[in-house]
Structure 1
Amino acid sequence: MTTSTALKEPDTQVSGQELREAMRVWTTGTTIVTAREPGGQRIGLVSNSFTSVSLNPPLVSWCVDKGSSAIDAWMAAEAFSVHILADGQEHWIRKFATRGADKFQGVETTSSLLGTPVLEIPGTRMDCQVVQLHEAGDHYILLGQVHRIEAR
């Protein structure tokens, strides 16, 4: 049985900065998400918004900032790979968190079966096909169906 009650209008608003400060104390996993734009250029970024959504079918999601320097490429990508980082891989975070830089400079990659760039690093990788895209405030949520999981 479900009931519905009208929500009262809050007396105050929380600022984005307040939310950011509060979320800094919540420990999350860190991933690097990679893809190819339609022209073949590799794109990648650090994401801590990665989460599983469904087991049947196997779905995951992550969020990209609308202000990303590669937002048009992310919106056009048909697939992505999520590289789940482990302790001791902080250098990958620094490399892929730099806004506007060539994140793949000096990085050897192969291609997944979906054509996404694969980082040759220890850990778990999921190759996913984009199935939905949702606008959510100043981000987009990309929902992907997992087609392959590889653990190294």
Structure 2
Amino acid sequence: MDAVSQFKQALGNYPTGVTVVTANDPQGNPIGMTVNSFASVSIDPLLILWSIDRNAYHFDAFTQAKTFNVNILAADQSDVCMLFASRVEDRFGKCEWHNGTNGVAVLKNVASQLECNVYNTVDAGDHIILIGEVTSIVNEEKEPLLYHKRLFGKIPDAFYQQS
């Protein structure tokens, strides 16, 4: 097995949460994509990051946007994940959403939602890392959608039990 295949296998064995990152294109239209390369960076200031492939469908629009939102999907939103992972033209016509306080789309029924201003971008090989300063947070009492070995799931109840 070559190094790229081993790398993909190793990272596929690392369970992650699933997000849909949204922004506006230069014409003001909402854009969004499924992202699992999301992480916290800093508490002071509140910073998060996500990365985008240079070959991504809306690469230019995302890297030119000054604001974006991170929608952390709830366990029952695998359909939303797949919608925003596809190349369907009118993704926003196929889901419920509204504009956040920053004018960028917020998906309904998500586990959490973070509104961000672009803080910095970092060149990272075939990706660009976008670092956002969080300006608004909405949390709901919902379990997150998880992704592991190309499958979706949720945290088992046993995980929450204390010994």
- Give TM-score scaled by structure 1 length: 0.85
AA aligned opposite 2:62:
W
**Is structure 2 residue 124 aligned with structure 1 residue 127?**
no
Who wins on radius of gyration, i.e. which is larger? Answer: 1
The equivalent of 1:18 in structure 2 is 6
Q: Per-residue deviation at 1:88?
A: 1.8
Aligned residues: 139
Residue 108 and residue 89 in structure 1: after superposition, are their counterparts in 2 closer, same or farther (change >3 A)? closer
Q: Within 2, Cα distance between the matches of 1:63 and 1:95?
A: 19
| Residues 65-144 of structure 1: pairs in structure 2 closer than 5 A | 65-99=53-87, 101-144=89-132
Instruction: Show CA shifts across 1:34-89 (max 9, x none).
Output: 11112111111111111110000000000011110111101111111111112121
**Is structure 2 residue 34 aligned with structure 1 residue 29?**
no
Report if aligned partners of 1:69, 1:100 keep a CA contact under 8 Å in 2: no
Instruction: Show CA shifts across 1:93-151 (max 9, x none).
Output: 11111136432223332211211111112311000000111110111100000000012
Q: Which has the higher contact order (CA 8 A, sep 6+)?
A: 2
- Give TM-score scaled by structure 2 length: 0.80
Report if aligned partners of 1:30, 1:48 keep a CA contact under 8 Å in 2: yes
Q: Within 2, Cα distance between the matches of 1:137 and 1:70?
A: 18
RMSD over equivalenced CA pairs, Å:
1.4
AA aligned opposite 2:64:
A
Q: Within 2, Cα distance between the matches of 1:90 and 1:27?
A: 15
Structure 2 unaligned blocks of 5 or more = 141-163
Structure 1 unaligned blocks of 5 or more = 1-13
AA aligned opposite 1:112:
G
